[in-house]
A and B are shown apart, each in its own frame.
Chain A
Amino acid sequence: MTLRAIISTKLGAYGYFAIALAVAIALLFAWVFFKGGYLLTVLQLAMIYGVFCVGLNFFMGYTGQASFGQNAFAAIGGYGSAILTVQYGWEPILALVVSMAVAGVAAVVVGYPTLRLRGHYLAMATFALGLITYDVSVQWTDLTQGYMGYSGIPPLGIGPFTVEDDKLKLVCLAVILALGVWVSSRLRHSRFGRALRAISSTELGAAALGIRVSRYKLLAFIIAALYASAAGSLFAHTVGFISPEVFGLQMVVVTFTMLYVGGIGTVLGPAIGAVIASLLPEVVRSTGRFQDIAYAAVLILMLIFVPKGLSTLASIGRRRPIKAGAEG
């Protein structure tokens, strides 16, 4: 038996994928640390978008529902953090947690009536939610300072220890994202996660087995809102500045791209998608005035050749032996 064969029987395709992924992440972080500067910011934002997408994946991926308004909850997090720390001098961590709680309550208030709607109605309702939130953040200037937004938002920290250094910020954000992915993985592989995935496939089938469809949809919606709010707060504390544009329609488009590029409904896909879609513009920048075209071309190629997302590359090797076994 060759060494290769031994490794492959021990590891399987998932093992290879995990190693490749770990190496890729290590190289990426090493490169960004070495280069520093602007790339650090790009990767920081990728981590924050990652948190948002991992949450959105609960609702859109695992549960198979459409939401175009998740940016509303990111806005609650961002503005909650900004207002509580800048106006009232709260601890950033406390502001983040309280904002998440507010977003959770908002998700219940919005989700309870709308999740009874199906298909397009739900999508429309969430879309309206996103637009209304944007309008509120522009118009309600007493609270949000309108287009001006908030600046001077303090960085995260615990007591006297604050995360000011950009490299340290990145590490903290990466740890938070990893934690978010871990939670997602635990929940997916459980009774709860199976119920969500059953609903995504057929609500009739799920209900016939005693799954409370509306309740589980609402729970997934709340989880997505909590992640979104955390992402909004992290943005505020990392960049130090927010305005309505940060949480606008652009955010919906960007995060959808990330979800589909990485692999919607998978555990790692949202995080992988967030990193790839964030770095891609930097990579194609070298093509000068063709960068938009190059960006779009790469995305389209990915959707053609890896339609279920990059994270599904792991299972390509896995299917083969099963098929071969079934045939032989």
Chain B
Amino acid sequence: MALLEVRGLTKRFDGLVANSDIDLDVPEGSLFAVIGPNGAGKTTFFNMISGFLQPTSGTIAFAGVQITNLRQDRIAAMGLVRTFQLVQLFGGMSVAENVEVGCHLATKGGIGAALVRPPWFRHQEADVRAKALELLDFVGLGVQAEQEATLLPYGQQRLLEVARALAAKPRLLLLDEPAAGLNAHETEVLADIIQRVNRQNITVILIEHDVALVTRIAHRIAVLDFGRKITEGTPDEIKRHPEVIAAYLGTEEAAHA
């Protein structure tokens, strides 16, 4: 049984079919990538899996449990955590505090504990703090810990979102174009981070435009175009696939034009 099982997933926006009858199996422990040109429906796909959009039809099962139409926070609580293509950092908070919020699911305690501050709560607060700094070091943002999060350069904001998502101890991590806005060196660092995350037995699904990056690190790749999954396979298979070459060379040219 795959960790994530998607069957016949379809999303219509009025006339537009953003996702059309998509089937996908993502095995536990894999590093999976979803590629496709602009507007192919990749983010829509993520939005449905993570509960931010209701599918028009189709089903999604995570770890054998139906999560179709479940609320976002309940899906996250099951261990399916995402980042956003349009970063959603918490403004007015420091970089470290952003990651501390990420620890929400991995910690407990509400109003009562906050008022009384029993020993376990104080320990937990200290652990949260330590964990945040550890994760920031992991993504290379340790130095910026006390800085206001939304003042970071764009590329680093994406890294912060990754660190924050990791704080939630995900079983499946969905990354929506984490390399956008990164330079070549930063992209290398990010690739390394993603691979290290994956080696900690966290399943990863990565949306990415950088085909070179994806074919290098992903175990398996699905290709979307006009809302349909046109193919799926190993990086080598994908690189040779005529439709992929057509679709991708198309957008590459458009991008350079």
Contact = CB atoms under 8 A, between A and B. Distances in A.
Interface of A: 183, 186-187, 189-195, 197-198, 200-202, 204-213, 219, 223, 265, 322, 326
B140 to A, nearest CB: 15
Given A205-B84, A210-B104, A212-B73, A190 B125 contact: yes
Given A186-B117, A322-B147, A209 B111 contact: no
A192 B92 contact: no
Interface in B74-118: 76-77, 81-84, 88-93, 97, 100-105, 107-111, 113-115, 117
Interface in B212-244: none
Given A197-B101, A204-B52, A208-B81, 7 more contacts: A194-B100, A197-B90, A198-B104, A206-B90, A206-B101, A207-B72, A322-B147
Contacts, number: 107
Given A207-B76, A209-B81, A326-B147, A191 B88 contact: no
Interface centre among A197, A198, A202, A322 (most CB of B within 10 A): A198
B90 A201 contact: yes
Nearest to B143: A326
Nearest to A188: B114
B115 A187 contact: yes
18 contacts: A186-B117, A187-B114, A189-B114, A190-B113, A191-B124, A191-B125, A194-B104, A197-B90, A206-B90, A206-B101, A208-B76, A208-B82, A208-B165, A209-B101, A209-B165, A209-B167, A210-B77, A210-B104
B90 A202 contact: yes
A186 B124 CA distance: 15
B186 interface: no
A194 B88 contact: no
B88 A204 contact: yes
B146 interface: yes
Contacts of B4: none
Contacts of B97: 194
Given A204-B84, A204-B88, A205-B84, A211 B104 contact: yes
Contacts of A183: 115
Contacts of A200: 92
B50 interface: yes
A194 B109 CA distance: 12
Given A201-B91, A322-B146, A191 B76 contact: no
A201 B92 CA distance: 8
A212 B104 CA distance: 10
Interface in B52-86: 52, 71-73, 76-77, 81-84
A219 B111 contact: yes
A191 B114 CA distance: 8
B88 A210 contact: no
Interface of B: 50, 52, 71-73, 76-77, 81-84, 88-93, 97, 100-105, 107-111, 113-115, 117, 121, 124-125, 128, 146-147, 164-165, 167-168
B76 A198 contact: no
Nearest to B76: A210
Nearest to B115: A186
Nearest to A194: B101
B73 A213 contact: yes
Contacts of B128: 191
Contacts of A198: 90, 93, 101, 104
Contacts of A204: 52, 84, 88
Given A187-B111, A190-B113, A210-B104, A197 B92 contact: yes
Contacts of B92: 197, 200-201, 265
B88 A208 contact: yes
A200 to B, nearest CB: 8
A201 B93 contact: yes
Q: Which 9 A-B residue pairings sit nearest by Cβ, starting from the closest?
A: A205-B88, A190-B114, A210-B76, A210-B105, A207-B72, A201-B90, A202-B88, A198-B101, A201-B91
A194 B92 CA distance: 11
Contacts of B114: 186-187, 189-193
Contacts of A219: 110-111
B131 to A, nearest CB: 13
A202 B104 contact: no
Contacts of B101: 194-195, 197-198, 206, 209, 211
Nearest to A212: B73
A208 B72 CA distance: 6
B174 to A, nearest CB: 9
Contacts of A265: 92
B257 to A, nearest CB: 33
Contacts of A186: 114-115, 117
Contact of A192 (B103, B109, B168): B109
A187 B117 CA distance: 10
Contacts of A211: 73, 101, 104
A207 B52 CA distance: 9
A260 to B, nearest CB: 15
A201 B107 CA distance: 21
A202 B161 CA distance: 13
Contacts of A189: 114
A195 B121 CA distance: 16
Nearest to A213: B73
